[in-house]
Structure 1
Amino acid sequence: MDGGIVSYGVYVPRYRIKIEEIAGVWNENPDSIKGGLRVKQKSVPDIDEDTATISVEAARNALKRVDVDGEQVGAIYVGSESHPYAVKPTATIVAEAIDATPYLTAADYEFACKAGTAGIQTCLGLVRSGMARYGLSIGSDVSQGAPSDQLEYTAGAGGGAYLIGTENIIAKINKTVSYTTDTPDFWRREGQRYPSHGGRFTGEPGYFKHVTGATEKLLEKTDKTPSDYDYAVFHQPNGKFPVRAAERLGFEEKQYSPALVVEDIGNTYSGSTLIGLAKVLDQAKPGDRILTTSYGSGAGADSFDITVTENIKEVQDRGPKVSEFLDEGTYLSYGEYAKHKGKVK
């Protein structure tokens, strides 16, 4: 049975902080930081925003695009590494907010930045088997970075929600594969306020090994080459990694550049790949082929081969587009940012 994306929605907080503002506090060279990370600013959640509120907004934006009621959604999975509760699911909050309760299955996922795509794979299995009519997978984060740490320059906030089903598909998921190992490139123990990262493990052993591993396996299974795709979407921890991975795999700038959002909103972690894919869907045409590969530290990558259908034209203008969130911006000072992020008590 065919299965795929029925609708999608994103949400990014309107607040921003520029790299120069953070660098000035720590006496760093902002041009060096921006050049090294290829990020000029990042999104910041409002004082009353968290992973749950962002997930709800993204889910509502996804449902705006289609004539699907919340009660038709039989599964909800929220992927994040910044769930507001250590013991209490975010998925049930979303379910109540979109009137999906009580007859559904729901759970929270965590796999660093790829938990949202893991949820898509789960939903795909449920709808193809007939266990659920629609499944909703959300990747959402209000990511953390310790003061003066490199993560503070990129750790943003935002989320993407994807409605998965077998009817009225706007983008068919032809194939998905995953590549997973126990690579400790990034972690945060229970009770720790900020995550740690393993330096040299972050790049080659972490991101690049898994992103290229999953993508190459997908190309092998689909018997495709990079030139067969109109778009390529990769997880965006910074502005350099997705570009380097894409070019290493043989993709051209015209294929990967339409998905890049990290320069304007930073790394939204579980939302990163999903927001990038949404930006592509906002402009895609029927018949376009999209390769999408997420990445989560710890470590793993999920890769998808996607074909856009004629139904895409019916949903593109029925909800807010990614560009609308990128154009927004209320800029904060470092002190205001620290208050918003709870760095100052």
Structure 2
Amino acid sequence: MVGIISYGAYIPSYRIKVEEIARVWGANAAEITGGLGVREKAVPDYDENTATFAVESTRTALARRPIDPKEIKAVYVGSESHPYAVKPTAVTVGEAIGATPVMTAADYEFACKAGTAGIQTAMGLVSSGMMKYAVAVGADTAQGAPGDALEYTAAAGGASYIIGNDDPIAVINHTCSFTSDTPDFWRREGEDYPRHGGRFSGEPGYFKHVTGCAKMMLEDMGTKPADYDYAVFHQPNAKFPQKAAAMLGFTPEQIKTGLLVPRLGNTYSGAVPLGLAAILDVAKPGEKIFVTSYGSGSGSDAFDITVTDAILSKIDRNKGPSVESMLAKAKYLDYAVYARHKGKIKV
């Protein structure tokens, strides 16, 4: 009965519209919006980063369910934009929530699936009996070079999950992964912005791994897409997850709640954790959730999840902001202020 004990999310309030980025670079905004299915993206404030996102979302998880932070013995933060190259974000989170000093902590990096990799590690530690609770976070302040295609979607935000086996609000019935050395997207040490391998991004990158992992999960569980109430797939743009869902047999209605990218952008390691958080904000006991992440380089993690009665009695979802309320709280920036927020202007 290992599963989600509580959860929390964080999305910064600042936004920039795709049309504003396109205006600066002389691009066709309608063509970009139509091609990506993204209208705007979240932007961090000057004093926000992966560490602050992780702390805020984990504090929300703790506010929703009063557990003793001293019983949290592991903290893992998945991101490709940790504030330090050498100094773990995870220890900052552990200290901020009061879980230190008796815990194990580490930062994970696997492009956009580092957060789900952290959930798998937390599941293993809890199910082995080594600890009662573990925290897994997926968060990013995603990077995109000025004028590059990535700049239109690279966004900011994240979500945290407390994993345990003490009346979970959602049981994780099974997890599996599908991984290969497929170059798609990378950033070398010391470089400010990532690069992408264009023609590899869809096939054999995203679709091979997402559909491969999802089919493996369906086979392992003996289920079919119609058995699930919700599904969430990694969303680098709006087109890819919708196409993957259709290829697998999931309906638009099943992915609607967790498809945040049109209003949020691609939060990289935070994308699937935030989509799952949006579903948990409204999910009812007995409903089933299908999850598949993707990280360039390349790999996918899938989860079969069942919501329990504890979601009504063990947590208070009104404590802390919902994903929808944070999406609705938007303050728009022009490109110059956005560039300053993102550190694109070097002084």
Partner of 1:333: 334
Gaps of 5+ in 1: none
Deviation at 1:5, TM superposition (A): 0.4
Indicate the RMSD between aligned Cα atoms, in angstroms: 0.7
Partner of 1:4: 3
TM-score by length of 1: 0.99
1:273 partnered with 2:272: yes
Deviation at 1:200, TM superposition (A): 0.6
Residue by residue over 1:111-136, the C-alpha shift from the partner in whole angstroms, topping out at 9 and shown as x without a partner, is 00000000000000101111111000
TM-score by length of 2: 0.98
- Tell me which amino acid in the other structure corresponds to 1:332: L
Deviation at 1:230, TM superposition (A): 0.5
Q: Distance in 2 between matches of 1:318 and 1:93?
A: 23
Deviation at 1:317, TM superposition (A): 2.4
Q: Distance in 2 between matches of 1:154 and 1:290?
A: 26
Deviation at 1:60, TM superposition (A): 0.5
Deviation at 1:69, TM superposition (A): 2.3
- Tell me which amino acid in the other structure corresponds to 2:307: V
Alignment of 1:303-318 (within 5 A): 303-314=302-313, 315=315, 316-318=317-319
Secondary structure of 2:277's counterpart equals helix
Partner of 2:251: 252
Aligned length: 344
Q: Distance in 2 between matches of 1:306 and 1:235?
A: 16
Secondary structure of 2:158's counterpart equals strand
- Tell me which amino acid in the other structure corresponds to 2:128: S
Deviation at 1:318, TM superposition (A): 2.8
1:109 partnered with 2:114: no
1:151 partnered with 2:150: yes
Alignment of 1:173-322 (within 5 A): 173-314=172-313, 315=315, 316-322=317-323
- Tell me which amino acid in the other structure corresponds to 1:306: I
Gaps of 5+ in 2: none
Q: Distance in 1 between matches of 2:64 and 2:164?
A: 14
Deviation at 1:70, TM superposition (A): 1.6
Q: Distance in 1 between matches of 2:25 and 2:295?
A: 28
- Tell me which amino acid in the other structure corresponds to 2:41: K
Residue by residue over 1:138-192, the C-alpha shift from the partner in whole angstroms, topping out at 9 and shown as x without a partner, is 0010010000101000000000000000002000000000000001100000011
Secondary structure of 1:52's counterpart equals helix
Q: Distance in 2 between matches of 1:272 and 1:68?
A: 26
1:166 partnered with 2:165: yes
Q: Distance in 1 between matches of 2:280 and 2:206?
A: 24
Secondary structure of 1:304's counterpart equals strand
- Tell me which amino acid in the other structure corresponds to 1:179: F
- Tell me which amino acid in the other structure corresponds to 2:320: G
Partner of 1:132: 131
Deviation at 1:252, TM superposition (A): 0.6
Segments ≥4 residues shifted beyond 3 Å: none
